[in-house]
Structure 1
Amino acid sequence: MADITNIGLYTSGGDAPGMNAAIRAVVRTALFYNIKVTGIRRGYEGMITGDLFPMDRRSVSNIIQKGGTILKTARSEQFRTKEGRQIAYDNLKSFGVDALIGIGGDGTFKGASVFGEEFDIPIIGLPGTIDNDMTGTDFTIGYDTAINTVINAVDKIRDTAESHDRLFIVEVMGRDSGMIALRTGIASGAEHILIPERKAGLASLFDRLENGRKDKTSRIVIVAEGENEEGGAFEIGRKVKEKFPHLDTRVSILGHIQRGGKPTCMDRVLASRTGVAAVEALKLGYRGEMVGLINNEIMFTPFEHAIKHHTDIDPNVIRIVDMLSL
């Protein structure tokens, strides 16, 4: 058992629905075990500027249903330097912080891995990212809410596509991962998806448009923002118009609406379970690991294995997309 007395809590990187539910779980679990919690605003940048404050039960009242993060988030170039990290560590010590819990994704855990090793401070991470691209958990906090937001938007887009016999190319988030595009492509009945992991490119889309059913009154193509081989959604739309001038083709970029909104039940429960586990892991002496949920069981993965080691896309899922879009 580790003698943890004061946990520093922060969110970092892109915000994700469910982060507030995770903050609530961490604070209330720590207080249950008589451990103090120090909130850190704006992630690693807040560590450097000293934007720290004590948190209590009232600090996390009525936040479980809110999107975004009450602790704010920001990028920090200074934290990338040894000098910046030294300032951050000194500020943490001045507030009596002797352990950290960080909620975020790839960049958050990279920073935590370096920081924990340099200053021998125990750090546990929670996977808060809508991209669902971390190894060590079946789902990341925010992913379920994001895909439901996409589905709601695409359903509305299909209404107007049906009314005007249009082809819509819809870009969703996923700079390095096509998980959002893949799952929403199946759920929205998309005719085709373009994702970074599938190097089929425009040829596969052209083939589907050329040889697919001609009697369809609407067509939806889902494109992950990381699918840049063809120049992005607008360039894909231009090339489709050039190749198929008879199709009324439009492009829709969903953008940051995918990050916001009230978290779903699944994200709230995932955040709560992993938040509790993070505090208890620190008490047991864990450090440098991410808490995840695999097959409905709490699991721990070292930061170096969790960072951008997401598994390949299941070819059977691709097959389902192709089969059901006929």
Structure 2
Amino acid sequence: MSIKSIAVLTSGGDSQGMNAAVRAVVRSALYRGLEVYAVQRGYYGLIHDDIRKMDLRSVGDIIQRGGTILQTARCEEFRTLEGQQKAAENLRKRGIEGVVVIGGDGSYQGAYKLSLQGIKTMGLPGTIDNDIPFTDYTIGFDTAVSIVVDAINKLRDTMTSHERSSVVEVMGRHCGDIALYAGLASGAEAILVPEVDFDLNKIATRMKDHFNAGKKHGIIVVAEGVGTGEDISKKLNEQSGLDSRVTVLGHIQRGGTPTHNDRILASRLGDFAVSQLLEGKSGKACGIIEGKLVATDIEKVVNTKKAMRMDLFELAMRLSQ
């Protein structure tokens, strides 16, 4: 029997394009004749019954906005079986049969737990880190990389003026994709990521050689998972004798207007999630691989580590010589 009512929530760290995804889910569901509800503050809102009905105007003028109009919050109670049962019961009493969860790995795990309670669930990859497997890109990643590239462009101007190196620390505790893509797009001299071992002494020697050959600046992009920018800069200065300065971009990477790529990706995935629920699917993670929309078992997604694009890393290294 086809479902008649669904809800949408955002969970975990916010990412640009979440609002575009919420808009797509709501309007796609309404177009197909479904009732749609929004859950405020993620799984916390599910447990505390912070749920409201949506219409077309509820998601007007949000496709271009960063963050999430539904807010997001941590919820330790949802980690318990009792919390999961309470959340499912709140949905059932409103007649809500399916939920679209927009978030990262932790959000996906919550969606899987909710599916075990008999609620049909779909996950959308909303995280700037691009660390979700079985999708080439996550919602917010393109915008975050664009922000980092723009910052590096500005830093390069002032570093050249002072003949210094710049160490740029970006987000990515376990996945170095932001550092990799931004570093490649910026022509960085070195890219340090958790997935690849590195030798700071060799990097320092190479940068010193570059400066001795007449280069006037240097850019090192560091994913936070390999260490702080301050520590990396200090060691580079000690080993090379150069004067490097640190910029930590922090949460600025999560804010701002989403790029057209993130808006389109979010729109496609949101519509796809609704269609999957209408087909009776559940416990799936929606993604995009080589331009095609795919749905993979959430249990498989959360138990798989995403492989790094070593071809891009090696390309960046070849071009930085």
- Corresponding residue of 2:164: 166
Taking the aligned partners of 1:304 and 1:166, their CA distance within structure 2 comes to 47
Report what 1:315 is aligned to.
310
- How many Å apart are 1:78 and its aligned residue? 0.8
- Equivalent in the alignment of 2:114: 115
3-state DSSP of counterpart to 2:226: coil
Residues 100 and 124 in structure 1, CA contact (< 8 A), matched pair in contact too: yes
Runs of 5+ consecutive residues of structure 1 not aligned to the other structure: none
Please tell me whether the aligned partners of residues 192 and 208 of structure 1 are also in contact (alpha carbons under 8 angstroms): no
Please tell me the residue identity of whatever aligns with 2:287.
G
Q: Does 1:275 align with 2:273?
A: no
TM-aligned CA distance change 1:138 to 1:210, over 3 Å: same
For residues 189 and 298 of structure 1, what CA distance do their matches in structure 2 show? 31
Deviation at 1:318, TM superposition (A): 2.1
The aligned residue for residue 183 of structure 1 is 181
Give the stretch that moved more between structures: 209-218 or 180-189.
209-218
1:240 equivalent in structure 2: 236
What displacement does 1:32 show? 0.8
User: 1: CA distance between counterparts of 2:258 and 2:248?
Assistant: 21
Alignment partner, residue 30 of structure 1: 29
Match of 1:297 in 2: 292
Q: Percent identity?
A: 47
**Residue 110 of structure 1, CA deviation:** 0.7
Could you tell me which residue of structure 2 aligns to residue 149 of structure 1?
147
The Cα of 1:319 is off from its aligned counterpart by 2.0
Deviation, structure 1 residue 81:
0.9
SS in 1 for 2:63: coil
Output one character per residue of 1:187-217: Cα deviation in whole Å (capped at 9) or x when no partner: 1111101000001242442342244452110
* 1:306 equivalent among 280, 283, 301: 301
Letter in 2 for 1:284: E
Distance in 2, Cα, partners of 1:314 & 1:275:
26
Look up the match of 1:51. Answer: 50
TM-score by length of 1: 0.95
Measured after TM superposition, the shift of residue 48 of structure 1 is 1.1
Q: Which position in structure 2 is the counterpart of 1:200? A: 198
CA 1:81–1:74: 2 relative to 1, 3 Å: same
2:245 pairs, out of 243, 250, 261, with 250
8 Å contact from structure 1 (residues 135, 308) kept in 2: no
* 1:226 counterpart SS class: helix
Judge conservation of contact 1:3–1:283 (CA < 8 Å) in 2. Answer: yes
1:170 and 1:253 in contact (8 A); partners too: yes
- What's the counterpart of residue 285 of structure 1? 280
Q: Is the 8 A contact 1:134 1:308 kept in 2?
A: no
Supply the RMSD in Å over aligned alpha carbons: 1.3
Find out whether 1:218 has 2:217 as its counterpart.
Answer: yes
Question: What whole-Å deviation, never above 9, does each CA across 1:233-261 have from its counterpart, x for those lacking one?
Answer: 1111111222233x121111000111011
Matched, 1:262 2:264: no
How far, CA to CA, are the matches of 1:320 and 1:308 in structure 2? 29
Could you tell me how far 1:75 is from its partner in structure 2? 1.0
Q: Give the aligned residue type for 1:259.
A: R
Which amino acid is 2:119 matched to?
Answer: I
122, 126, 129: which is aligned to 2:127?
129
Deviation of 1:140 (Å): 0.6
Return closer, same or farther for 1:308/1:185 CA change in 2, 3 Å cut-off. Answer: farther
Count, aligned residues = 320
Asked if the contact 1:174–1:224 (Cα under 8 Å) also holds between the matched residues in 2, the reply is yes
Task: Please say if residues 194 and 201 of structure 1, whose CA atoms lie closer than 8 Å, have aligned partners that are also in contact.
Answer: no
Distance 1:209 1:308, change over 3 A: farther
